A and B are shown apart, each in its own frame.
Chain A
């Protein structure tokens, strides 16, 4: 006979307003295995917990059921509570009579009370079958990997490194810096983006605890929290980083010109190049697709003139495997391709550009040396139209979500046009102006009041090329009439979207992503930088559209989580994992296929059968990787794989308890 104590919580009026808690407690008295049953106003409060502890001792309880809120809310609280009273923490069950009962049945106390009673009876049945479980431990590798070398990745790495841990930054481009390096000025302070970023880049590159791995990509991730074995492909740079001094002679002489990715094709770079002058490392790579030496076998000029002999055409991609304790994803974002907007010219009008093009056009080191010029004829535009929400908040052609940053960068760009071109007219087409940030609303007000940008509420229906002008037609929905503006240049605030390879990378590392391929945080409010995969964290816009301040804040948060993990020598692992009964396992391998964490593999065992030794294949669970999702248990045809704490026996006991009450009715 088990000795179960039942504790029914009122949660103030959250539960008690629609469930008669005293009645539920009464109903449980005399139920099999229940030796004590009571109700209380706030079970999670200090006195509530004390009452549970005292009752455990007084009534010699060996198991406890708390009927209150979701286990996601307070299961850890009550596990600690019963552990304090000397019970194994896994001999606790929670019946969720709040989210799954009182909140959804607010107007029918009689039936809600009956349902609550059933839920508690199920919990009693389960707890009676629960077994004590113990946590296990695994060692922690005290090194972190940050994937992505933009502002989020750089900040994460610096914060981790300053805590005394080793960090590697993995960047697929030849230089760290990311999108922030392309931006001219930052809102709401209008300080120069490069001026605040480059010191961070230098700090990252010179920090003794930070190791930069640029021009490299993730190849494979194995292992689990505390011990990820990550294989990185270091792409052939064709330049020996140890010999190269970054003198620049090679790219000065290289005869091949290619559209510069950094300048969005508005100027040329060479086939041997650094993406931008402040690049870190400030050492070039050879773009093998365009390099004459690789295309035709001729040239080889850079090798001839390199004073240190750093050019190496024979370099090959290199695979390196390193063990890390934690991984931070800071892979950033891309901009929405507006060529699906036929009404804006399918991306074919040269003077219809994106916000990022504009950043380069207005940047002092950009293709026009900071003079705003139209891409088509290099004249200074007088009438500039900004269109917001291009690809954002447009489910028919783009994304349903708001990209969060566009309202502010458009206001910034509008301000800069008015500041640089005194006789200019600036028109901003908007749906809403969203400025939820410190100093943001004030900045927007300055844009309209001091700088005189004309904000027009409405969408642009069509842009047509009319000679060397663009005719922008839309609706002013506040005045209720169509407007037409003759513009010299149109700037589209295109949506922030997930990288094209975001989903592929998430699958490779093994964590979840949403329908837009942004990486999913573990909890939208309470665990915003964690993923559902232990040891993998998120920073910056790979999780969702974000501006620089938010990315930096998130980077700091992710770094703290990483440090908390790396500060431990050993890691507790959750005992709620799957186990295989090898006696009945037929080794069919279905569980191997469904496991999202690659925790199950087939192994060969030897056994004696009828006097002979035979070998056969059975499933084997790596409990460090297993997250206890249970997908394997429902797949297994012979019920040979069981999830501890959610065994078939325990679940069926709950079902039986429920069916009995139904039968009695």
Chain B
């Protein structure tokens, strides 16, 4: 199983542990990742508020290189995924757009190489049965909340899972042996960059998610989006302090917990790089002998 891949800006900086764990887990699961040479930023929100063609051209270039290599692209970051999927659909929908995009980036992208979210690849291409087979250290007793945020499930055009009740991460976590708790903020927006540029709006959005998470009685939150991670992990203490609460809720990338279940060392996955200490909780999980899913 081989996919083109690129870390994107987040996984190269604030979300470095997502990159470490993605690579480690894919290796362990025999998913070969071919890093797109000279990949560029997907443009994120900045591009599509600037110019609609800039927003198409930037991700199209990465996709075009993958298409030349004949590979679909497995994308860890939610924003990179949404932007790339968007251009894939746009060039398939309109010849005019396809031609304009080709003119901009100086190469053809026909939409044949598909943008795939990494979670989607795990869920649909590997399948939960196969993942279960590979589990060495079931996450027994770990109560997790799956947090999808916006970009994997909205808009429905680019979504790979149900908009209101996505289940892909739930089923992967169940396959790992964790207990998936139900809660009401599963697909709420974390406010994205509003926490930086307009914190009076952004912070209450994060606060609501953390409050919901705490109420649910779960041990931790699992996500696949570097923006959500930054908001829930980095801002957690700041927001807690303001209202005199200590949340103490570790937030994990889904690849980190996959890595733990595959019995990879936490540090190799970057779990020591979190703001909210995240290793202690995992140390409580007892490795079972003999391997195999339980």
Contacts and interface: CB of A to CB of B under 8 A. Distances in A.
A471 B184 contact: yes
Contacts of A467: 215
A466 B164 contact: no
A342 B162 contact: yes
B200 to A, nearest CB: 15
A490 to B, nearest CB: 14
A203 B165 CA distance: 50
Interface string A452-474: 00000000001011110001000
Interface string B193-234: 000000000000000000010010000000000000000000
A343 B184 contact: no
A343 B215 contact: no
Contact of B165 (A342, A466, A471): A342
A342 B182 CA distance: 15
A346 interface: yes
Contacts of A346: 164-165
B193 to A, nearest CB: 21
B163 interface: yes
Nearest to B186: A464
Interface string A276-298: 00000000000000000000000
A465 B185 CA distance: 10
Consensus secondary structure, chain B interface: loop
A342 B164 contact: yes
Interface in B159-181: 162-165
A466 B162 contact: no
A466 B163 contact: no
Nearest to A343: B164
Nearest to A462: B164
Interface residues of B, number: 9
Most chain B beta-carbon contacts within 10 A, residue among A464, A465, A467, A471 = A464
Contacts of A466: 184, 212, 215
B73 to A, nearest CB: 28
A343 B153 CA distance: 13
B165 A464 contact: no
A523 to B, nearest CB: 41
A104 to B, nearest CB: 36
A351 B212 CA distance: 20
Contacts of B162: 342
Contacts of A464: 184-185
A207 B165 CA distance: 54
Nearest to B153: A342
A391 to B, nearest CB: 16
Contacts of B163: 342
Contacts of B165: 342, 346
Contacts of A342: 162-165
A467 B214 CA distance: 12
Contacts of A465: 182, 184
Contacts of B184: 464-466, 471
A471 B185 CA distance: 11
A346 B162 CA distance: 11
Interface in B138-175: 162-165
A151 to B, nearest CB: 37
Contacts of A343: 164
B201 to A, nearest CB: 12
Contacts of B185: 464
B84 to A, nearest CB: 25
A239 to B, nearest CB: 44
Interface in B111-162: 162
Interface in B25-61: none
B279 to A, nearest CB: 31
Contacts of B164: 342-343, 346, 462
A346 B186 CA distance: 15
Q: Point out which of B162, B164, B185, B212 has the most chain A C-beta atoms below 10 A from its C-beta.
A: B164
Interface in A377-400: none
Interface in A133-172: none
B263 to A, nearest CB: 36
Interface in A454-512: 462, 464-467, 471
A471 B212 CA distance: 12
Contacts of B212: 466
A464 B165 CA distance: 11
B150 to A, nearest CB: 13
A580 B182 CA distance: 71
A620 B163 CA distance: 57
Contacts of B182: 465
A466 B214 CA distance: 12
Nearest to B185: A464
A406 B190 CA distance: 36
Nearest to A467: B215
B29 to A, nearest CB: 31
Q: Give the 5 A-B CB pairs with smallest separation, nearest first.
A: A342-B164, A464-B184, A466-B184, A343-B164, A342-B165
17 contacts: A342-B162, A342-B163, A342-B164, A342-B165, A343-B164, A346-B164, A346-B165, A462-B164, A464-B184, A464-B185, A465-B182, A465-B184, A466-B184, A466-B212, A466-B215, A467-B215, A471-B184
Given A343-B164, A465-B184, A466-B184, 5 more contacts: A342-B162, A346-B165, A464-B184, A466-B212, A466-B215
